[in-house]
Amino acid sequence: MNDDSPKTPPHTVNDHMFGDFYAHEHDGEADHDHDDMDPGPLEDNPIWQRDNVALTSVGIDIGSAGTQVIFSNIHLQRKSDSLASRYIIVDRKTVYESPVSFTPYSDEVTIDGAALGAIIDDAYHNAAIRPGDIDTGVVILTGEALRRENAAAIAQVISEKGGDFVTATAGNHMEAMLAAYGSGAAKASHQKQCRILNVDIGGGTTKLALADNGQIIWTAAFHIGGRLIATENGLVTRLDPAGAHHARQVGIDLSVGAAIDTAGMAKISTHLANLIVGAITLTPPTDEIRKLFLTDLPTDFSNIEGIMFSGGVGEYVADREERDFGDLGKVLGHELRRRVDNGDLNAPLLPAAACIRATALGASEYSVQLSGQTSTITAPGKVLPRRSMQVLKPNLDLSDHPSSTTIAESILHHFEAFDLDPETAEVALAFEYHAAPEYGFIRTLADGIVIALEKYLAAGRPLYVMIDGDIAQTLGGILRDEIHLSGELLILDGISLRDFDYIDLGKVRLPSFTVPVTIKSLLFSEDPNGPQRQERIHFQEHGSEPRAHTHSH
């Protein structure tokens, strides 16, 4: 008997309509083509995109001797295995490394802006990356380049050429920290759970950074570099004041155009090597070494289990470079390698992941954090982006549940310590919060902030708060819905900051609803064309002795 009854049409993927649910049954003749349908690339999945964020970053390193540009792709992933659902960097890929070019100077006190701009333009062109493609990045001026009269203005121009979210920064502490990240010293310290000293020797300065179990616990810098003196055909073509000073210390009087042979250059280089070894091993340091420091003197060299060398001179220490560029670098690097092999630095040499590119790598890959997803941002168009916000981190242990009065007093004390007016200064307040997210104490924290900034908030000014714990949404809700603040709020979680940090805040990224936070330091005045803050030691152009200034960091 033939069954002429209408057959159920084949069941297909169309029966699964987005947002709608239709009852259906699977029978023997059902079409199961949806069971093995291709979901597409994982990176296109909205759920994956919320927990995984890719950033394109650039690091532009304008140093005493060399300028270079490095582009990186950074993959950050949200970790929710603790109270702080922070994003951490899980992968970094270098997209392009420019050649290392000599930093161009138009004269002894001026950086050649046009030539420097051409170097940057060539890097973007060769990498096939447009400034608009950049999510975050850092231009860092360091060493002798920082001393040039137009250094701050150059930094601003180059950051503007680099993209909307490329920030200008400067200073020896920042470079020392970035070099320790870029060289791999911080990573090795974390992996080995030990203390590693990174020694970054560039063209004009030597930077020290001590990494303890992955954390940079101090940084310092002093006035020794591989290109303080440069020669061509036996004649001095470049002579920085510090180079002339070091030459005089070994009985050689130099000026631009003067003759000097390889033996004389080697004598100066050996003297510099002795000073570097002394700066690391002598406690207390000699007066000569003390005068060379551009920062406060480091005091903790105990229990160091390894030393890494980075910077241009680090290439010679690692036997990765043999070319002679007519400066002090080659002999200095080889002499330091001999001294560390002899045990003179009291710790073994560890291989660096990067030497001359360490600072640029650090700037492109290690200067950004990403906020968590549970932030409070009442008006993204008004409060973002922001540049060069000063961070204030009150001395509070929130796990002890201090009272609102104690919180307010600590905040106000910090404003006073940094000579800022709590009624007008727009800063980013930073807090560590590792306790359970209890409403009662979060309300106490909110009350403390409001008490401290009563007049500032009464004027309707925006409030910026950065928290490493996962309470930003709750804190924002209390401030907005219960305390009824009238000003805009930007409260980000998953961000770890400290005093002396300055931050740039980018635009909200979708679909992760996160905010890139670039961390930097400042050494320039507000007007980049005006006078810049001085370093602690500044060698006179004419004279044998350095003079002291107060360091700004």
Check: CB of residue 162 under 8 Å from CB of residue 137. Answer: yes
Nearest-Å Rg of the Cα atoms of the chain is 28
Tens of pLDDT along the chain (553 residues)? 455 555 545 544 444 333 333 344 445 555 544 445 455 555 555 555 567 778 888 888 888 888 999 998 888 777 655 445 566 767 778 899 999 999 898 877 788 888 999 999 999 999 999 988 888 777 888 766 776 777 777 877 787 777 766 766 667 888 898 899 999 999 999 999 999 999 999 998 999 999 999 888 999 999 999 999 999 999 999 998 899 999 999 999 999 999 999 999 999 999 999 999 999 999 889 999 999 998 889 988 999 999 999 999 999 999 999 999 999 999 999 999 999 999 999 999 999 999 999 988 887 766 677 787 778 999 999 999 888 888 999 988 888 889 999 999 999 999 998 889 999 999 999 998 877 788 999 999 999 999 999 999 999 999 999 998 888 999 999 999 999 999 999 999 888 888 778 888 888 887 778 888 887 765 444 443 433 333 444 454 433 333 333 333 3
pLDDT for residue 44:
54
pLDDT for residue 472:
92
Helices (H) and strands (E) in the chain, counts: 16, 24
Q: From CA 201, how far away is CA 276, in angstroms rounded?
A: 10
pLDDT for residue 542:
38
Residue 50 backbone zone (phi > 0: left; psi -120 to 50: alpha; other: beta):
alpha
Q: Kind of pairing, strands 105-107 and 101-102?
A: unpaired
pLDDT for residue 370:
76
Output the CA angle 250-251-257, nearest 5 degrees: 105
Q: From CA 74, how far away is CA 93, in angstroms rounded?
A: 7
CB atoms under 10 Å from CB of 93, counted, come to 11
Q: From CA 448, how far away is CA 425, in angstroms rounded?
A: 17
Hey, is 317 helix, strand or coil?
helix
Q: From CA 345, how far away is CA 545, in angstroms rounded?
A: 28
Check: CB of residue 363 under 8 Å from CB of residue 162. Answer: no
Q: From CA 57, how far away is CA 364, in angstroms rounded?
A: 5
| 440-to-131, 289, 407 alpha-carbon distances in Å | 46, 54, 14
* Encoded tokens for 298: 């480091």
- The percent of the chain in helix, strand and coil, each rounded to the nearest 5, is 35, 25, 45
Mapping DSSP onto H, E and C, the string for 425-479 reads: CCCEEEECCCCCCCHHHHHHHHHHHHHHCHHHHHCCCCEEEEECCCCHHHHHHHH
Tokens 């400067």 found at: 170
Write down all domains in the chain, each with its CATH number in brackets: 46-170 (3.30.420.40), 175-365 (3.30.420), 374-511 (no CATH)
Q: What are phi and psi of 445, to 5 degrees?
A: -60, -45
Q: Of the candidates 321, 387, 337, 318, which has an alpha carbon nearest to the alpha carbon of residue 66?
A: 321
User: Residue 279 is which amino acid?
Assistant: A
pLDDT for residue 35:
47
Q: Of the candidates 431, 430, 485, 434, which has an alpha carbon nearest to the alpha carbon of residue 461?
A: 485
pLDDT for residue 289:
95
User: Residue 305 is which amino acid?
Assistant: E
Check: CB of residue 465 under 8 Å from CB of residue 491. Answer: yes
* Encoded tokens for 155: 């930094």
pLDDT for residue 200:
97
CB-based burial label for 279 (10 Å; 0-12, 13-18, 19+): buried
